[in-house]
Structure 1
C-alpha cells in the first residue's frame, strides 16, 4: 500500500472517514497507516510477522466486527484479493465504505474492471503506480468469499495460500528424496498447507513433527490435512521459532520472494534459523531454485553439505552437523 494514495484520498474527500472502527486488511511491514486514527483502527492479517509488527506499534489486531469502514490492501493473487474484498464487505455495516488499494503490477486494474459490474464503484485515484477506490458495503460480493478447494490426495487449500492448486514442484522433488528414516524430532519450517509434513510423517523414526507456518490460513489447512497425534502446529515467524528442544531434522522449502522480485535473503535467513534449532548431529533437507546463491551460507552453517538431487529448476541439498556460533 502507498501512503500517498491514502493521504490524497482523505485530503480530497474521496474517502470520508467515519466515526467508529476501521478495519485494515492485510497491510505489510513498511505500510504507513499514520493517516488513520490509530485508536479506531483494527489491523487484520493472517501473516504472523505483519501481525506482530502492527501489534508492536500499538494497533488493535483482534477482529471486532462490525466496522464502520474498511481498507483492503490488495494482495497479488486475484482469488485472495476477491475473498478479502468479500470479507470486508460483509464485515462493514451496510452502506459503509470499503476502500481498496493496490499496485498496477499486482492486478488492481483487473479487480477494478470486475467490480464495475458488481458494485457502485466510486472515483478511482491513480498515483504512484497504483490505484485506490471505494464502494459501499453490501451483499454483492458474497460469491467472491474464499472457498476451500480439495486437490489431489485429499488436501484442502484456501485462496491466497502458496501453491493452492497443487503441491509445488520443489516440494514434490524434496519429498521424493527424503530418506526412509528421519530423526525422532523434526521441524517442517514453513510448512504451508502440509504437503511435506504428510510425507515426513510417513518416514520411519519420527516421533514429533513441529509444523511452523507464518500464514494462518495455510496452517489452518495443515491442521485438516495432517491428522496425526505426532504433529504440533505453530502459527509463528519461521525466523524466530524455537522448538522445545533441539531437533535432529529440519525439512524446508523456504520462500524466496515477498514481491515479484527474488529476495535470496529470505532463504539465507531460513538457513540461519534452521541451524539454531538443530542438535549437533542434526540434518537439514532443503529445496531451492537452482539459481539462488545459498551454497556459501550452507557451507558456513554446516560441516558437511551435498546436493542429493535436482531437476531443471530446483535442487535439493543435504546439510549435516550445524556449526556452533556465538
Structure 2
C-alpha cells in the first residue's frame, strides 16, 4: 500500500481508518493531489484563512497544516484519521482545528476547499451555513473524482455560492471553481428534515447526512417488525444508529432498558438525540456516543445489540465495517446476550456470524433483506 503523498507542499505519510491488515487502498485520491497542486500554482495559501470540508483521512488538512486550516467533517473516523496522521508526521494537533459538521468556523473565510461528499444533501447544508462567512474574494474550490461527481454538485454551487467554472480532468479528477456572488439571496436551509413515523405520533428529525431523510427506509421498516422482545435485556445498543428510530422503538417496548446510541456520524447522533427527546421528553435517559463502532466500549457490558451494518465507507464498497461490528459485538455482549442484524440477502452475513458466534438463527426474510440473531455463548 502506498503511504506517502507527494505534493508541492511536501511529502506526508497517511493511513486510512479503520486500520486493516493488508490494506490496499490509499488514504487520498487524485482529487486531493489536484487541489494541492492548484493551490501552489495559484499561490493562494499564503496568509489564507483556509476551511476544508469533508477531508476523508486528513490528506488536505495534514498537507496544509502549516497554514493552520479549519477542517469540518461529519465523520468521527475522518477526524481521528486526521489526528493520527498529524502525529504520524510529527505535526502538533493544534495545527489543524477540527470541527464537527454542526459547528461553524470563524467568519472571514478566504479559501474554502470542498471534497464533494457522497451525500449531496450534506453539501447543500454546508453551503447554506458557510456562504455568509465567505469573504467577497474567497477562493471556493470543490474537488472530486469524475465517477462520483454528479452534475447536481455544480448546480448546488451555482445556486448557493455563485458562478462556477470547471477545470480540465486530470487523473480522472476534476476541480470546480466558484465565485462568491454577494447579491445572491440564499433560500431557506431545508435541513434538518422531518417526517411522521408510520403507525405512531412521532415526528422524526433527520439531519442532512442521515440515510433516508424523508421517510422510513424499507430495511428499517422490516427490522422494526422483528425487534428483539426480551424484558431481561437491560443494556441495549443501537449500533450504527442513524436517526435512532430503532433504539427509540426498543426503548418503547422495553421500559426498563438503558439504550445506547452509537454512530460515527455527528449528524446521526444529533438526530438520534432529538428523536429520543421527542419520544420521551425528560422522562427517560439514554447514552449517545460518536465513535468508531464499539472500539472503546467495555467488554461484557451489553445484553442486546441491534445493527444494520453499512456496506460502504464514503465511496468505497466493502464488508470490513460490518465485520468490525460483528467482532466487537461478540466482545461487548454478555454471555447469553443477543446480536440482531439485518442485511441485504446477497451479503451472506450468516457465514461470518456463524463462524464468530458458533450459532446464527434466521429470524425473518423477504425478497431483499434477511434478519439474523446470534447468541453469545
Same fold flag (TM > 0.5): yes
- Aligned with residue 150 of structure 1, among 176, 194, 197: 194
Q: Does 1:93 align with 2:135?
A: yes
Number of aligned residue pairs: give it.
321
Match of 2:254 in 1: 204
Q: Within 2, Cα distance between the matches of 1:205 and 1:111?
A: 45
Q: Deviations over 1:216-259 (max 9, x none)?
A: 11111111111242321111111414048611100111111124
Contact 1:305–1:319 (CA<8 Å) still a contact in 2? yes
Q: 2:369 aligns with which of 297, 314, 320?
A: 314
What are the equivalent positions in structure 2 for 1:104-253 lying under 5 Å apart? 104-116=146-158, 119-122=162-165, 124-137=167-180, 140=184, 142-143=186-187, 145-153=189-197, 154-182=203-231, 183-204=233-254, 206-227=256-277, 228=280, 229-243=284-298, 246-253=301-308
CA offset at residue 87 of structure 1?
A: 2.9
Q: Secondary structure at the match of 1:88?
A: helix
- Larger deviation: 281-290 or 65-74? 65-74
Residues 1-16 of structure 1: matches in 2 within 5 Å?
2-13=31-42, 16=44
Moved more, 204-213 or 216-225: 204-213
After superposition, what is the alpha-carbon deviation per residue over 1:253-303, rounded to whole angstroms, capped at 9, x for unaligned?
Answer: 111112455311221111011111110111111101111132232112213
Deviation for aligned residue 1:5: 1.1
- Higher RCO, Cα 8 Å, sep 6+: 1
Instruction: Give how far 1:44 is off.
Output: 1.1
Question: CA–CA distance in 1 between the matches of 2:186 and 2:80?
Answer: 30
Structure 1, unaligned runs of 5 or more: none
Residue aligning to 1:258: 313
Match of 2:122 in 1: 80
**Alignment partner for residue 284 of structure 1, among 336, 339, 344?**
339
- Gaps in structure 2 of 5+ consecutive residues: 1-28, 87-92, 198-202
Partner Cα separation in structure 1 for residue 241 and residue 72 of structure 2: 22
Please tell me the root mean square deviation across aligned C-alpha atoms, in Å: 2.4
Deviation by residue 1:303-325 (Cα, 9 ceiling, x = unmatched): 32111101111100000025xxx
Change (3 A) 1:124 1:86: farther
Distance of 2:230 and 2:246 partners within structure 1: 15
Out of 32, 50, 65, the residue aligned to residue 106 of structure 2 is 65
SS in 2 for 1:160: coil
Out of 89-98 and 303-312, give the one that drifted further: 89-98
Q: Spell out, residue by residue over 1:38-80, the C-alpha distance to the aligned partner (whole angstroms, 9 max, x if none).
A: 4421111121111111123233214541233211111122222
TM-score (norm. length: structure 1)? 0.89
Deviation string 1:187-235 (CA, Å, 9 cap, x unpaired) is 1111111110111112236420100111111111111111242321111
With structure 2 as the length reference, what TM-score do the two structures score?
0.77
The alpha-carbon deviation at position 141 of structure 1 amounts to 6.8
Distance 1:18 1:119 in 2: 24
CA distance in 2, matches of 1:88, 1:101: 17
Kindly indicate whether the alpha-carbon contact (under 8 Å) linking 1:119 and 1:136 is maintained by their aligned counterparts in 2.
Answer: yes
Q: For residues 264 and 166 of structure 1, what CA distance do their matches in structure 2 show?
A: 26
